[in-house]
Amino acid sequence: MRPEDSYQSFASRYDAFAERSDLRMSFLEGLFRDHGVRTVLDCACGTGGDLIRLDGRGFDVVGSDLSSEMRAQARRKIEEAGAEIPLVAADFRELGKHFDEPFDAVICLSTSLPHLRDDEQTLRALRSMREVLRPGGILVLDQGMSDRQWKEKPRFVPAINTPDVSRLMAIDYETETFTVHVLDFVGPRSERTFHHDTFVYRRMLADDYVRSLRQAGFRLIRLFGDYAGAPYSKEDSGRLIVVAEG
Protein backbone atom coordinates (compact mmCIF):
# COMPACT_ATOMS: atom_id res chain seq x y z
CA MET A 1 0.00 0.00 0.00
CA ARG A 2 0.67 1.95 2.33
CA PRO A 3 -1.64 4.71 3.64
CA GLU A 4 1.38 6.93 4.19
CA ASP A 5 5.03 6.56 3.33
CA SER A 6 6.05 5.42 6.80
CA TYR A 7 8.45 3.04 5.05
CA GLN A 8 10.66 5.80 3.68
CA SER A 9 13.61 5.12 5.96
CA PHE A 10 12.93 1.39 6.30
CA ALA A 11 12.58 0.40 2.64
CA SER A 12 16.28 -0.21 2.03
CA ARG A 13 16.41 -2.64 5.00
CA TYR A 14 13.01 -4.23 4.55
CA ASP A 15 14.25 -7.40 2.85
CA ALA A 16 16.12 -8.45 5.96
CA PHE A 17 12.77 -9.81 7.15
CA ALA A 18 13.42 -12.72 4.76
CA GLU A 19 9.74 -13.69 4.69
CA ARG A 20 9.74 -14.84 1.07
CA SER A 21 10.63 -18.47 1.59
CA ASP A 22 10.33 -21.23 -0.97
CA LEU A 23 7.52 -22.64 1.18
CA ARG A 24 5.55 -19.41 0.80
CA MET A 25 5.99 -19.48 -2.96
CA SER A 26 5.03 -23.15 -3.15
CA PHE A 27 1.85 -22.41 -1.20
CA LEU A 28 0.89 -19.56 -3.51
CA GLU A 29 1.78 -21.47 -6.65
CA GLY A 30 -0.30 -24.49 -5.61
CA LEU A 31 -3.21 -22.27 -4.64
CA PHE A 32 -3.07 -20.40 -7.93
CA ARG A 33 -2.88 -23.59 -9.99
CA ASP A 34 -5.91 -24.99 -8.16
CA HIS A 35 -7.92 -21.85 -8.95
CA GLY A 36 -6.80 -21.38 -12.54
CA VAL A 37 -4.94 -18.18 -11.73
CA ARG A 38 -2.85 -16.59 -14.45
CA THR A 39 -2.91 -12.87 -13.64
CA VAL A 40 -1.94 -11.58 -10.18
CA LEU A 41 -1.97 -8.15 -8.60
CA ASP A 42 0.25 -7.68 -5.56
CA CYS A 43 -1.41 -4.57 -4.15
CA ALA A 44 1.14 -4.07 -1.35
CA CYS A 45 4.15 -5.23 -3.32
CA GLY A 46 6.78 -3.55 -1.16
CA THR A 47 10.27 -4.20 -2.51
CA GLY A 48 9.01 -6.62 -5.16
CA GLY A 49 10.40 -9.95 -3.96
CA ASP A 50 7.11 -11.81 -4.40
CA LEU A 51 6.57 -10.22 -7.81
CA ILE A 52 9.90 -11.47 -9.09
CA ARG A 53 9.38 -14.98 -7.75
CA LEU A 54 5.86 -15.29 -9.12
CA ASP A 55 6.98 -13.89 -12.47
CA GLY A 56 9.70 -16.54 -12.53
CA ARG A 57 7.04 -19.22 -11.99
CA GLY A 58 5.12 -18.14 -15.08
CA PHE A 59 2.41 -15.88 -13.68
CA ASP A 60 1.54 -12.51 -15.22
CA VAL A 61 2.10 -10.13 -12.31
CA VAL A 62 1.56 -6.45 -11.62
CA GLY A 63 2.72 -4.66 -8.50
CA SER A 64 1.29 -1.63 -6.76
CA ASP A 65 2.25 0.21 -3.60
CA LEU A 66 1.63 3.68 -2.24
CA SER A 67 5.16 4.04 -0.85
CA SER A 68 7.50 5.66 -3.37
CA GLU A 69 10.53 4.31 -1.51
CA MET A 70 9.24 0.75 -1.60
CA ARG A 71 8.47 1.07 -5.32
CA ALA A 72 11.97 2.42 -5.93
CA GLN A 73 13.47 -0.63 -4.24
CA ALA A 74 11.15 -2.91 -6.22
CA ARG A 75 12.07 -1.22 -9.50
CA ARG A 76 15.77 -1.67 -8.80
CA LYS A 77 15.36 -5.37 -7.94
CA ILE A 78 13.18 -6.03 -10.97
CA GLU A 79 15.78 -4.44 -13.26
CA GLU A 80 18.56 -6.45 -11.63
CA ALA A 81 16.53 -9.63 -12.18
CA GLY A 82 16.10 -8.80 -15.85
CA ALA A 83 12.32 -8.95 -15.49
CA GLU A 84 9.61 -6.73 -16.94
CA ILE A 85 6.95 -6.20 -14.29
CA PRO A 86 4.64 -3.16 -14.23
CA LEU A 87 4.68 -1.09 -11.04
CA VAL A 88 1.87 1.32 -10.21
CA ALA A 89 1.58 4.00 -7.53
CA ALA A 90 -1.75 3.07 -5.98
CA ASP A 91 -3.53 3.08 -2.65
CA PHE A 92 -5.18 -0.32 -2.19
CA ARG A 93 -8.34 1.48 -1.09
CA GLU A 94 -8.66 2.86 -4.64
CA LEU A 95 -7.55 0.07 -6.96
CA GLY A 96 -10.49 0.52 -9.32
CA LYS A 97 -9.09 3.91 -10.30
CA HIS A 98 -5.89 2.31 -11.60
CA PHE A 99 -6.85 -1.04 -13.14
CA ASP A 100 -9.45 -1.66 -15.84
CA GLU A 101 -8.90 -5.36 -16.48
CA PRO A 102 -9.76 -7.79 -13.66
CA PHE A 103 -7.16 -10.08 -12.12
CA ASP A 104 -7.46 -13.77 -11.29
CA ALA A 105 -5.89 -13.15 -7.89
CA VAL A 106 -5.02 -10.25 -5.62
CA ILE A 107 -2.46 -10.66 -2.85
CA CYS A 108 -1.92 -8.33 0.10
CA LEU A 109 0.76 -9.83 2.32
CA SER A 110 3.10 -9.07 5.22
CA THR A 111 0.61 -7.43 7.61
CA SER A 112 -0.26 -4.69 5.13
CA LEU A 113 -4.03 -4.43 5.64
CA PRO A 114 -3.77 -3.78 9.42
CA HIS A 115 -2.03 -0.46 8.68
CA LEU A 116 -5.60 0.83 8.29
CA ARG A 117 -7.04 1.98 11.59
CA ASP A 118 -10.81 1.37 11.48
CA ASP A 119 -13.60 -0.78 10.08
CA GLU A 120 -14.63 1.77 7.47
CA GLN A 121 -11.19 1.99 5.88
CA THR A 122 -10.65 -1.76 6.08
CA LEU A 123 -13.98 -2.43 4.38
CA ARG A 124 -13.16 0.16 1.73
CA ALA A 125 -9.87 -1.60 1.00
CA LEU A 126 -11.42 -5.07 0.80
CA ARG A 127 -14.15 -3.83 -1.54
CA SER A 128 -11.49 -2.19 -3.66
CA MET A 129 -9.61 -5.50 -3.91
CA ARG A 130 -12.79 -7.34 -4.81
CA GLU A 131 -13.56 -4.73 -7.47
CA VAL A 132 -10.44 -5.66 -9.44
CA LEU A 133 -10.97 -9.43 -9.13
CA ARG A 134 -12.70 -11.45 -11.83
CA PRO A 135 -15.80 -13.35 -10.67
CA GLY A 136 -14.55 -16.31 -8.67
CA GLY A 137 -11.08 -14.80 -8.32
CA ILE A 138 -9.21 -15.15 -5.04
CA LEU A 139 -7.77 -12.76 -2.48
CA VAL A 140 -4.83 -13.80 -0.29
CA LEU A 141 -3.99 -11.90 2.90
CA ASP A 142 -1.43 -12.72 5.56
CA GLN A 143 0.11 -11.42 8.75
CA GLY A 144 2.48 -12.45 11.50
CA MET A 145 0.09 -11.48 14.30
CA SER A 146 -2.07 -14.47 15.26
CA ASP A 147 -4.74 -15.06 17.90
CA ARG A 148 -2.17 -16.99 19.92
CA GLN A 149 0.37 -14.17 19.88
CA TRP A 150 -2.27 -11.60 20.82
CA LYS A 151 -3.23 -13.75 23.79
CA GLU A 152 0.36 -14.40 24.91
CA LYS A 153 1.62 -10.89 24.08
CA PRO A 154 5.37 -11.52 23.84
CA ARG A 155 7.22 -8.25 24.35
CA PHE A 156 10.35 -9.08 22.35
CA VAL A 157 10.43 -11.08 19.11
CA PRO A 158 13.84 -11.88 17.56
CA ALA A 159 13.50 -11.55 13.78
CA ILE A 160 16.91 -12.18 12.25
CA ASN A 161 20.56 -12.55 13.22
CA THR A 162 23.11 -12.71 10.40
CA PRO A 163 26.65 -11.39 9.99
CA ASP A 164 25.16 -8.29 8.33
CA VAL A 165 21.91 -7.62 10.19
CA SER A 166 20.57 -8.29 13.67
CA ARG A 167 16.91 -7.41 14.12
CA LEU A 168 14.76 -7.40 17.24
CA MET A 169 11.10 -6.39 17.33
CA ALA A 170 9.72 -4.89 20.53
CA ILE A 171 5.92 -4.86 20.60
CA ASP A 172 3.58 -2.67 22.65
CA TYR A 173 0.05 -4.09 22.85
CA GLU A 174 -2.79 -1.60 23.19
CA THR A 175 -6.53 -2.36 23.33
CA GLU A 176 -7.26 -2.15 19.59
CA THR A 177 -3.78 -1.60 18.13
CA PHE A 178 -0.22 -2.75 18.55
CA THR A 179 3.00 -0.86 17.95
CA VAL A 180 6.05 -2.62 16.55
CA HIS A 181 9.48 -1.11 17.18
CA VAL A 182 11.99 -2.53 14.71
CA LEU A 183 15.51 -2.37 16.13
CA ASP A 184 18.22 -3.02 13.53
CA PHE A 185 21.97 -3.35 13.91
CA VAL A 186 23.40 -3.24 10.38
CA GLY A 187 26.88 -3.89 8.99
CA PRO A 188 30.01 -5.75 10.10
CA ARG A 189 30.30 -6.04 13.87
CA SER A 190 33.11 -3.48 14.08
CA GLU A 191 31.13 -0.91 12.06
CA ARG A 192 27.51 -1.58 12.98
CA THR A 193 24.95 1.20 12.77
CA PHE A 194 21.71 1.30 14.73
CA HIS A 195 18.29 2.01 13.21
CA HIS A 196 14.91 2.29 14.91
CA ASP A 197 11.62 2.31 12.99
CA THR A 198 8.12 2.28 14.47
CA PHE A 199 4.91 0.98 12.89
CA VAL A 200 1.40 1.02 14.32
CA TYR A 201 -1.09 -1.67 13.30
CA ARG A 202 -4.71 -2.30 14.02
CA ARG A 203 -5.49 -5.54 15.81
CA MET A 204 -7.07 -7.86 13.23
CA LEU A 205 -7.49 -11.48 14.20
CA ALA A 206 -9.20 -14.42 12.53
CA ASP A 207 -12.79 -13.47 13.40
CA ASP A 208 -12.15 -9.87 12.34
CA TYR A 209 -11.01 -10.97 8.90
CA VAL A 210 -13.96 -13.31 8.40
CA ARG A 211 -16.45 -10.63 9.42
CA SER A 212 -14.89 -7.90 7.26
CA LEU A 213 -14.52 -10.14 4.22
CA ARG A 214 -18.14 -11.21 4.40
CA GLN A 215 -19.24 -7.58 4.66
CA ALA A 216 -17.14 -6.82 1.57
CA GLY A 217 -18.92 -9.57 -0.39
CA PHE A 218 -16.31 -12.33 -0.30
CA ARG A 219 -17.22 -15.99 0.19
CA LEU A 220 -15.56 -19.37 0.72
CA ILE A 221 -13.17 -17.93 3.30
CA ARG A 222 -10.39 -20.28 4.38
CA LEU A 223 -7.81 -19.77 7.14
CA PHE A 224 -4.35 -21.32 7.30
CA GLY A 225 -1.80 -21.28 10.09
CA ASP A 226 1.36 -21.59 8.02
CA TYR A 227 2.62 -21.91 4.45
CA ALA A 228 2.72 -25.68 4.75
CA GLY A 229 -1.07 -25.45 4.53
CA ALA A 230 -1.97 -26.35 8.12
CA PRO A 231 -5.49 -25.28 9.16
CA TYR A 232 -5.54 -22.17 11.32
CA SER A 233 -5.75 -22.73 15.09
CA LYS A 234 -6.50 -19.86 17.45
CA GLU A 235 -4.62 -21.73 20.16
CA ASP A 236 -1.51 -22.81 18.27
CA SER A 237 -0.91 -20.98 14.97
CA GLY A 238 1.89 -18.44 14.78
CA ARG A 239 0.73 -16.93 11.49
CA LEU A 240 -2.62 -16.06 9.93
CA ILE A 241 -3.14 -16.63 6.20
CA VAL A 242 -6.56 -15.85 4.72
CA VAL A 243 -7.85 -16.98 1.33
CA ALA A 244 -11.23 -15.70 0.12
CA GLU A 245 -13.14 -16.05 -3.13
CA GLY A 246 -14.66 -12.96 -4.72
pTM: 0.93
Residue type, 40: V
DSSP per-residue string spanning 63-101 = EEES-HHHHHHHHHHHHHTT----EEE--TT-GGGT--S
Model confidence pLDDT, tens digit, residues 16-62: 555 557 899 999 999 999 999 999 999 999 999 999 999 999 999 99
Q: Given this model, what pLDDT does residue 163 score?
A: 85
Q: Which residues of the chain have pLDDT under 70?
A: 1-20
Q: Given this model, what pLDDT does residue 14 score?
A: 67
CATH architecture for the domain at 11-145+204-245: 3-Layer(aba) Sandwich (3.40)
Q: Given this model, what pLDDT does residue 161 score?
A: 86
Q: Given this model, what pLDDT does residue 191 score?
A: 85
Q: Given this model, what pLDDT does residue 7 score?
A: 64
Q: Given this model, what pLDDT does residue 12 score?
A: 63
Q: Given this model, what pLDDT does residue 9 score?
A: 65
Provide the CATH topology of domain 148-201.
N-terminal domain of TfIIb (2.20.25)
Model confidence pLDDT, tens digit, residues 134-148: 999 999 999 999 999
Domain boundaries, the chain: 11-145+204-245, 148-201
Q: Given this model, what pLDDT does residue 2 score?
A: 43
Q: Given this model, what pLDDT does residue 20 score?
A: 52
Q: What is the Cα–Cα distance from 95 to 129, expressed in whole angstroms?
A: 7
Q: Given this model, what pLDDT does residue 188 score?
A: 84
State the helix-helix crossing angle for 119-131 and 206-215, rounded to 10 degrees. Answer: 60
What pairing do the DSSP bridges indicate for beta strands 133-143 and 156-161?
A: unpaired
CB–CB of 72/105 below 8 Å?
no
